[in-house]
Structure 1
Amino acid sequence: MSVLKGRVALVTGASRGIGYAIAQRFAAEGAAVVLCASRMGAHGDLQGTLESAVATIKAGGGKAAAVACDLSDANARADLVSRAGQPFGPIDILVNNAAASKMRLPSELSTAQRNFMFDLNVNAPIELAQQAIPGMRERGVGWILNISSRTCEQPVVPYRDSAMAAHVIAAYGATKAALNRYSVGLAHELADQCIYVNTLAPENIVLTSGAEYVRDIARRSPDMAEPVEMMAEAALALCHRPFVGQNCYSRQLLHSLGLKVKSLDGQRELGDAFLPADLNATA
């Protein structure tokens, strides 16, 4: 059964990584997916483009289209949901995945850098939700999923030595904490209208292409990493069920629902502890 058949989903930050995986998984379950990223074409040395992501989904029999938008620009994002609705119709599912982090010490982060992070990580997803809500109200149902991070939690003091030391990612964690809190309030405002708002964070570091430091961590400590398929499966679970205001973690959510991780095309069951055998080839 294709649980998203007839639905239209907009996924931001979808040219690669978690957003791309979610778009693939949703398309495999019957959704028409609109993938959004900051630009068409390549972005520096980063792997993946909107064009290649859409082509892959279409090659697998899915419906997909691309829309470019710099979500850090308030003017550029002002009509994004409307533009995203043009290929397949109004948006039923909004996944706010796009985010950025400035790896700086809190005392060294400039006002401009901090404002950029809060604008992209907090204001943009809230504004996209506000754009999508009227249409969801008209159709009587909708799902908004905001991708969060474990960095939103208060870290243990003193900090453990880590490549991702808690003080370096303090600003990023603060943006995700703000997004979580706002999402819960929005969820309870909209619950009686059958618009379901939740957040989802990876329980561990996600194995995505182009992140060599992640693969190094996974080689040394496999329990500190999780496959991108786990986030995609958890996102799917939250985008067709009536969860209200949950701040979820990927593995915990799947365990609570008794679900197994599937391949992004939905054809194979991978279990809940799957890690790619060849970490150098992680996608």
Structure 2
Amino acid sequence: MNQTASLKGKTLFITGASRGIGLAIAKRAAADGANIVVIAKTTDPNPRLPGTIYSAAEEIKAAGGQALPLAVDIREEDAVLAAVAKAVGAFGGIDILVNNASAISLTDTEHTPMKRYDLMNGINARGTYLCTQACLPELKKSAAAGRSPQVLTMSPPLSMKPHWFENHTAYTMAKYGMSMCTLGHAGEFKKYGIAVNSLWPRTAIATAALQMIPGVDTRLCRKPDILSDAAYLIFTSPGSSTGNFFIDDVLLAAHGVTDLEKYSVTPGTKNFIPDFFVD
């Protein structure tokens, strides 16, 4: 993998960074010496979902970066604004926002309580919008300083095919809300020199959260590292384009990475569980 730039000294504000994909992205950036603002709600260990903002911070430091763990519910505007202020106080600004935090419930309309609907839309669509809005002034400053600021949202390409909706309308609406932020903000922020893109995996990714979904065999998944490597390529590509909905393996192939065996949870797997929303 050809490194075209470095994230050394850059500050990444990553939501949902206490575990899984968010933590993998954080540690990959930390290897360059980046500063990571760890945004998540988990402060106390949970046997069902390992990882807290503090354990994540230790892993990030061990990987070579600096970490600021902040307990934040991204549905709360005041909490997000306070987190941005603390990030600026600690590291001087924000160069990259990663909208990774997300809630999932693969339930049909009859079996989706409005509390769950509100949770998914509050975290996925509203949380992404809020964090982007809150970080925007700092991203503008980063652009003015020539630091190539970016927003990367972990959300899928927009496909209006009924089969992506009919089994879990509420989740699809919430996840597509994140993608609509990418579509709109890419155009809106282009004049500022801020790149806005989405990244999504072709296959299911083995995370602790996925293990809580009944019937999912994580042995037929890929590791979060495939997304952290793909995200790193987006962050370090000079003159990063904007408004893209990248798929991990396509992006890696474009950079010459075609052997994906190391990302398999089970070596030799050929028939991975496909992820949602990839036509």
TMscore range, shorter length: 0.7 to 0.9
Q: 2:154 aligns with which of 131, 143, 147?
A: 147
Match of 1:116 in 2: 119
Opposite residue 217 of structure 2, the aligned amino acid is: I
Q: Give the direction of change, closer, same or farther, for the CA distance of 1:77–1:43 in structure 2 (3 Å limit).
A: farther
Q: Does the 8 A contact of 1:144 with 1:239 survive in 2?
A: no
Q: 2:45 aligns with which of 37, 42, 45?
A: 42
Q: Aligned residues: percent identity?
A: 28
SS at match of 2:68: strand
Opposite residue 187 of structure 1, the aligned amino acid is: A
Match of 2:250 in 1: 252
Q: Does the 8 A contact of 1:101 with 1:169 survive in 2?
A: no
Aligned-partner Cα distance in 1 for 2:169–2:88 = 35
Aligned-partner Cα distance in 1 for 2:31–2:253 = 22
TM-score of the two chains, using structure 2 as the length reference: 0.82
Q: CA deviation at 1:231?
A: 0.5
Q: Give the direction of change, closer, same or farther, for the CA distance of 1:214–1:22 in structure 2 (3 Å limit).
A: farther
Opposite residue 41 of structure 1, the aligned amino acid is: D
Q: Give the direction of change, closer, same or farther, for the CA distance of 1:243–1:74 in structure 2 (3 Å limit).
A: same
Aligned-partner Cα distance in 1 for 2:87–2:73 = 14
Match of 2:72 in 1: 69
Q: Does the 8 A contact of 2:42 with 2:51 survive in 1?
A: no
Q: Which has the higher strand share?
A: 1
Q: Map 1:13-52 onto structure 2 (within 5 A).
A: 13-43=16-46, 45-52=48-55
Q: CA deviation at 1:40?
A: 1.6
Q: Does the 8 A contact of 2:156 with 2:198 survive in 1?
A: no
Match of 1:94 in 2: 97
Aligned-partner Cα distance in 2 for 1:76–1:64 = 18
Aligned-partner Cα distance in 2 for 1:55–1:20 = 11
Count of aligned pairs: 257
Q: Give the direction of change, closer, same or farther, for the CA distance of 1:176–1:216 in structure 2 (3 Å limit).
A: closer
- Is 1:125 the counterpart of 2:113? The answer is no
Q: Give the direction of change, closer, same or farther, for the CA distance of 1:198–1:214 in structure 2 (3 Å limit).
A: farther
Opposite residue 273 of structure 1, the aligned amino acid is: E
Query: Root-mean-square deviation (CA), in Å?
Result: 2.6
- Is 1:199 the counterpart of 2:198? The answer is yes
| Larger displacement relative to structure 2 (129-138 or 108-117) | 108-117
Cα shift readout 1:35-93 (whole Å, capped 9, x = no counterpart): 11113222462111111111122123322221110123334324332223332221100
Match of 1:174 in 2: 173
Q: Does the 8 A contact of 2:32 with 2:64 survive in 1?
A: no
5+ residue gaps, structure 1, are 160-165, 261-270
Opposite residue 140 of structure 2, the aligned amino acid is: R
Opposite residue 69 of structure 1, the aligned amino acid is: V
Q: CA deviation at 1:169?
A: 3.1
Q: Give the direction of change, closer, same or farther, for the CA distance of 1:103–1:75 in structure 2 (3 Å limit).
A: farther
TM-score of the two chains, using structure 1 as the length reference: 0.81
Aligned-partner Cα distance in 2 for 1:78–1:131 = 6
Aligned-partner Cα distance in 2 for 1:119–1:111 = 12
Q: Does the 8 A contact of 1:72 with 1:124 survive in 2?
A: yes
Q: 2:227 aligns with which of 221, 225, 231?
A: 231
Aligned-partner Cα distance in 1 for 2:13–2:215 = 29
Q: Does the 8 A contact of 1:67 with 1:84 survive in 2?
A: no
Q: CA deviation at 1:174?
A: 1.5
Aligned-partner Cα distance in 2 for 1:218–1:42 = 22
Cα shift readout 1:158-211 (whole Å, capped 9, x = no counterpart): x9xxxxxx6443321221212212211211221232201011111110022464
Opposite residue 192 of structure 2, the aligned amino acid is: Q
